[in-house]
Amino acid sequence: MNQKRLSIALAGNPNSGKTTIFNNMTGTRQKVGNWPGVTVEKKEGTVKKFGYDLKIIDLPGTYSLTPFTIEEIIARDFVLEECPDVVIDIIDASNLERSLYLATQFREIDCKVLFALNMADVARSRGFKIDGKKLSELLNVPVVFTVGNKNQGIDTLLEKAIELAESSYEIPKKRRVKYSKDIENSISNLKSFLENWTEGSIPYNTRWTSIKLLEDDKIVKKRVLNKAGKNSREILQQAQIHRDFLVDRFDDDPEIVMTDERYGFIAGIIREVFTTSTKQRIDISRNIDLILTNRFVGFPIFIFFIWAMFQLTFSLGAYPMEWIDMGVNLLSKSLAQVLPNNLFKDFLLNGVIAGVGSVVIFLPNILILFFCIAIFEDTGYMSRAAFLMDKIMHLIGLHGKSFIPMLMGFGCTVPAIMASRTLESEKDRMLTILITPFMSCSAKLPVYIVLAGAFFGARAGTVIFSLYLVGIILSIITGRLLRSTLLRGADAPFVMELPPYRAPMIKSLLIHMWDRSKIFLKKMGGIILAGSVVVWILSTFPHNILYSLDYNSKIAGVTASYNAEIETAHESDKKLLAKKRDVAIAELLKAKKAEKAENSFMGSIGKVLAPVFAPIGIDWRGSIALLTGFVAKEIVVSTMGILYAADEADDSAALKNALLSSGMTPVGALAMMVFVLLYMPCIATVAAIRRETGSFKWMIFSVVYSTSLAWIVAFCIYQGGTVLGV
């Protein structure tokens, strides 16, 4: 028997715990995409409960349904147009007055709405007591207390939502916001006018439509024009008559007066349902903030947290890296013994496994990095980081809110650039988009780990942390330069809300970590595999190469010479001679492979690029690796894995040894890491810049500027280090 399906929309203010409740309800059964026509993230999940198939939609966080931002428009349009069976409004119980503003607007839409008073434990700890039963009676809305980060009340919430969806009672017309007499008269008259002139052509509730027309809601006015047809002009004229009357009566815009009266309505509810204990309560979040946002110690603590994150990523990730590396190496050796020597074997071992295998070993590091970022977000520390960075961001002409996309850029630059949409000022948004690629995304991390691990050993974690710091410093310098030239403008005012600290749920952290890591895994099966195959083809062909030396004869001669010595040698010397023979043969094979790569199509391209990269200490193989990085930065490692590889069973240790013996120096490795940090972003990021700025000019500027800056900084590091003898 088919289960009945219901759709449930989750709405609420930012930092109300909405996403935590969504994760608890849906677990890993989530689908993430974008809302149609915009780049705002859309989350949907499914769950089977109480005999129902429930589709849960996580609406963007919003403080109201007044369409000032794209998030507010999306949330309102979804409720109005898609008509979910139930809307669950997640209310921050510790900040009831602010949260009830959105709740009253849902009541005016006349949808089936259920209130979830979340963070009930935080409210209790502050001495707040909320009479849920009284609140339910006053607004005629079911009320459920929840503690999202402890998974308390979630099943009850879903049960009540199903019960409400299946109930047949009509939406009560009473106990909505009751405005003053003059406003109510205008609403009533305009409502009657709409009903007489539109003959049901407007799909929304006529009272709500009347309120929106009085508030001069541009989107509703446009839709009335489209729906009402020939009568639309008369409707808008009638609405303007009432607006003019209210402006004359109150000496203020109707939308401001109505907002004040909504808050008056909310204040009356608060008096009825909300009490505060006279006992002095300790505000834990405020006490923690006395330290973490302190102007003297807050910033050093923030720097320590970021340093610890990268140190943990490198040191803790080293163990599972070794296990995966051993697995890849074992697979490669097993296939090498089973498969006959032919072109397919070379393709499989040196193209697919060497390429993808050299990247997959970094999955543990990516997981740890995303886990740490999820901790920052779920505990509430991300907002504190933006607050701390506010003064530094003002050096650029931005504010702390712009630092949130930059922090997100440590994970992936594409969603970080999309996050800049939350900035109100167009110039702020443009500047944030242009400097965000200087943040070291997770795709650059494998390159850092290979080079830093090979050349800096125990100091690798500190070197990687320094690279992230260099990215931030250069983004500040770039921002200051652009703000004083191409993007002149005054600093926008900034108020950053600091949500209360919350203990993160392991389940929620793992979901956030996995959602972001899936992108990395998809890349390995798609763009990285394709890139590795292309690199293998270009480095393998043409197949018939005229070698400078007859390597096969040379190898046969060395083998015969050593075998003859071994036969006549003393028993104790035989192992030593056999080892010398194997080393000599390996050196010849390595030389043969290097000459083959140098004379391949890839080698020809590399020789053209070599003069450009030679001044920064990068050979032709490194230049090819950097070129392929435009497709995806992870391909830099897989390309090095193919071009620097010493034999068919290469692992990461062999790649590091090959790099060490390639002539690259520590200062050259540092210059290459800095170049990877700064040069043109991957093709997905370039496309995101084009989409978000709406300009090819800014996209080209970003690519040219970042690559030029990368070369100049890498040149200074390499040449300076060489002169100093580093």
287 vs 228: which has the higher pLDDT: 287
The token pair that represents 269 in the structure block: 């509810």
Q: Of 93-107, 422-436, 576-590, 650-664, which range is least confident? A: 650-664
Q: Are residues 126 and 190 in the same domain?
A: no
Q: Of 30-34, 95-99, 296-300, which range is least confident? A: 30-34
State how far the Cα of 658 lies from the Cα of 641, in Å rounded to an integer.
9
Q: Is residue 479 included in any domain, yes or no?
A: no
Q: Are residues 187 and 156 in the same domain?
A: no
Q: Are 146 and 292 in contact (CB under 8 A)?
A: no
Long-range Cβ pairs for the range 298-305 (8 Å, 24+): 298/384, 298/388, 299/388, 302/384, 302/385, 302/388, 302/389, 305/376, 305/381
Three-state DSSP at 468 gives helix
pLDDT digits (tens, 9 = 90+) for 246-298: 888 888 888 888 888 888 888 888 888 888 765 444 566 678 888 888 878 88
State how far the Cα of 175 lies from the Cα of 170, in Å rounded to an integer.
14
Q: Are residues 218 and 272 in the same domain?
A: yes
Three-state DSSP at 58 gives strand
**Which pLDDT score is estimated for 646?**
42
Interstrand relation of 30-34 and 41-49 (parallel, antiparallel or unpaired): antiparallel
State how far the Cα of 128 lies from the Cα of 122, in Å rounded to an integer.
9
Residue that finishes a domain, picked among 560, 588, 616: 588
Question: How many domains would you assign to the chain?
Answer: 3
The token pair that represents 684 in the structure block: 């997905």
Q: How many CA atoms lie within 13 A of 193 on its CB side?
A: 22
Q: Is residue 336 included in any domain, yes or no?
A: no
Q: Are residues 91 and 239 in the same domain?
A: no
Mean pLDDT of 63-91: 84
Which pLDDT band holds residue 470 (cuts at 50, 70, 90)?
A: very high
Contacts of 170 (CB under 8 A, 6+ apart): none
Mean pLDDT of 301-305: 87
Q: Are residues 202 and 67 in the same domain?
A: no
Domain with 227 in it:
181-276
The token pair that represents 307 in the structure block: 């340093």
Q: Of 229-233, 562-566, 712-716, which range is least confident? A: 229-233
> Three-class SS string for 36-48?
CCCCCEEEEEEEE
Q: Is residue 322 included in any domain, yes or no?
A: no
Q: Are residues 16 and 97 in the same domain?
A: yes
pLDDT digits (tens, 9 = 90+) for 539-590: 778 877 788 888 889 989 989 988 888 888 888 888 888 888 888 888 888 7
Q: Is residue 501 included in any domain, yes or no?
A: no
**Which pLDDT score is estimated for 172?**
54
Mean pLDDT of 185-205: 77
pLDDT digits (tens, 9 = 90+) for 437-456: 998 887 888 889 889 988 98
Q: Of 56-70, 109-123, 510-524, which range is least confident? A: 510-524
Q: Are residues 162 and 14 in the same domain?
A: yes
**Which pLDDT score is estimated for 81?**
82
Q: Is residue 258 included in any domain, yes or no?
A: yes
Q: Is residue 334 included in any domain, yes or no?
A: no
Residue that finishes a domain, picked among 261, 276, 291: 276
Mean pLDDT of 335-347: 85
What is the chain's mean pLDDT, rounded? 81
pLDDT digits (tens, 9 = 90+) for 642-669: 777 544 434 556 677 778 777 888 999 9
Which pLDDT band holds residue 193 (cuts at 50, 70, 90)?
A: confident
- Tell me the DSSP string of 98-158: HHHHHHHHHHHHT--EEEEEE-HHHHHHTTEEE-HHHHHHHHT--EEE-BGGGTBSHHHHH
**Which pLDDT score is estimated for 307?**
82
Q: Is residue 568 included in any domain, yes or no?
A: yes
Q: Is residue 344 included in any domain, yes or no?
A: no
Q: Are residues 124 and 185 in the same domain?
A: no
Q: Are residues 212 and 271 in the same domain?
A: yes
Confidence check: pLDDT of 500 > 80: no
Q: Are residues 266 and 153 in the same domain?
A: no
Instruction: Tell me the chain's radius of gyration from C-alpha atoms.
Output: 32
Residue that finishes a domain, picked among 276, 295, 326: 276
711 vs 232: which has the higher pLDDT: 711
State how far the Cα of 154 lies from the Cα of 140, in Å rounded to an integer.
21
Mean pLDDT of 127-137: 86
Look at the alpha carbons of 596, 597, 599, 601 in this order and tell me if their dihedral is positive or negative: positive
H-assigned helices in 380-437: 381-388, 390-394, 403-408, 413-419, 426-435
Three-state DSSP at 458 gives helix
Q: Are residues 192 and 218 in the same domain?
A: yes
Q: Are residues 141 and 202 in the same domain?
A: no
CATH of the domain at 107: 3.40.50.300
